[in-house]
Structure 1
């Protein structure tokens, strides 16, 4: 699946106009069908769709493990991509409780939610204590750029990386949508488990990003941008270590329930 393509452009300069070109990240509608029912249409990069489907089923609570996703069939249609997901028999009743066909853009939205009362969906278990120290966070941040080929080519893709306690990046996924990148990462880890202590994302830390990290059972979520109020509250409610505004010279610890980064 191609993630980018070159498009012609005009290059404007103070004294002239010339011909140019730009490599663009592909953004396409991807319709997700679950057990024959339309669930969501995601605007995303149509790559790693199998991993995305598994991660999306997990973070939407339609499945509890990769084994609950019996089959994933992605294919290109005339208007975009279609991903047909078949769930295990024990999970099939869930889709009827929350199915809703909607269009999601690349910035926000919770799929399959009919009302505000369904917003706080259950999170299984208590978040573990992170093993990584400050040096590991900076090491992961330093190594992330080299793991973002789509963004290097286009400047238009978010990344989500799984990192071990030493700060080594064990898996990375990219997408034009930050939610989609994280779902791809969660699906990748569900299909081929890695020793991941924390997630590092190149986006703001919103409620949805915290919620997905909680579903994945990761110990800590680190983001290069700022958090929202609801993201911090959600992290505090469930004991997720949350680090924001990750820069090469400083980071901001927003929630530290395990005293992983104690003040001197």
Structure 2
């Protein structure tokens, strides 16, 4: 299973008339993340950029500290879905095995392998100081996402996470039916390319929940901007992490919820009097 979208027959109603035709829809598959042949989590995901997903999920869940901790990775299609089979360096595998012995139950989307309520709101790392950005850079960054969201243009059904810098523009973008998965895929892609994220903007096409802020903080992101709004817990978590959290980004502006000192007004061009 490698297609990220497939054509399906559909009947479209336009006004009072129906039209038979074909639409492409996003594919969705169970993806198991296994370490040492033991399944840690099963996520429903778009079956694309799966190596990035394996690394990004492992980083955001604290299973590895860097891609070098994964000594082998194999993407295997099985009868019921896809397995991302990873082998870890000895100390990492031992730590994960100890952690799995204390799991209370099955994993869920966004919060995998938790054994207590406290683990759901675990402390996040403090991010670096980061750059000062103008209002125009926020708007330009978000505009750059749309033409790069090719799967969403095809299906109108997937989320995107991207990284943008003032000097390089759009560095990377990943798409998935799950917003958590899209951000994990982005994290994996950036880590594999050894790209630092402290001088750019992490862009999201979704709402900003606490899990998204936790993943961004683990990534080291200093600025996170999204088309939708954050939750209250996401705001508190971003504030504690030192992240500038920006939501409701529209062509006519946006709203900053935490650490607004990183954002400054676009400079007005000087007027020359003849």
Give me the TM-score of the superposition, normalised by structure 1: 0.92
Structure 1 residues 99-248: aligned runs within 5 Å: 99=100, 100=103, 102=106, 104=108, 108-166=109-167, 168-194=169-195, 196=197, 197-248=200-251
> What residue number does 2:97 align with?
96
Compare 195-204 and 239-248 and name the one that shifted more: 195-204
* CA RMSD in angstroms, aligned pairs only: 2.0
1:128/1:217 contact within 8 Å kept: no
User: Match for residue 34 of structure 1?
Assistant: 35
User: Alpha-carbon deviation of 1:102?
Assistant: 3.3
State the distance in 1 between where 2:133 and 2:91 align: 37
Q: Distance in 2 between matches of 1:136 and 1:263?
A: 10
SS class of match (1:246): strand
Query: Does the CA contact (< 8 Å) of 1:150 and 1:157 recur in 2?
Result: yes
In structure 2, the residue corresponding to 1:2 is in which secondary structure?
coil
- Tell me the CA shift for residue 115 of structure 1: 1.4
Structure 1 stretch displaced more, 14-23 or 30-39: 14-23
Unaligned residue ranges in structure 1 (runs of 5+):
none
Aligned length: 260
**How far off is 1:94 after superposition?**
2.7
Q: Counterparts of 1:68 and 1:132 in 2: how far apart (Å)?
A: 34
Which deviates the most, 49-58 or 64-73? 64-73
Q: Kindly indicate whether the alpha-carbon contact (under 8 Å) linking 1:130 and 1:241 is maintained by their aligned counterparts in 2.
A: no
Give the TM-score normalised by structure 2: 0.89
Distance 2:251 2:68 in 1: 39
Which aligned runs of 4 or more in structure 1 are off by greater than 6 angstroms? none
Alignment of 1:64 onto 2:65? yes
Match of 2:269 in 1: none
The worse-fitting range, judged by mean Cα deviation, of 9-18 and 214-223 is: 9-18
**Measured at CA, do residues 263 and 97 of structure 1 come closer, stay the same or move farther in structure 2, by a change above 3 Å?**
farther
> CA, structure 1 residues 148+19, in 2 after alignment: closer, same or farther (shift >3 Å)?
same
Q: CA deviation at 1:35?
A: 1.9
CA distance in 1, matches of 2:148, 2:40: 31
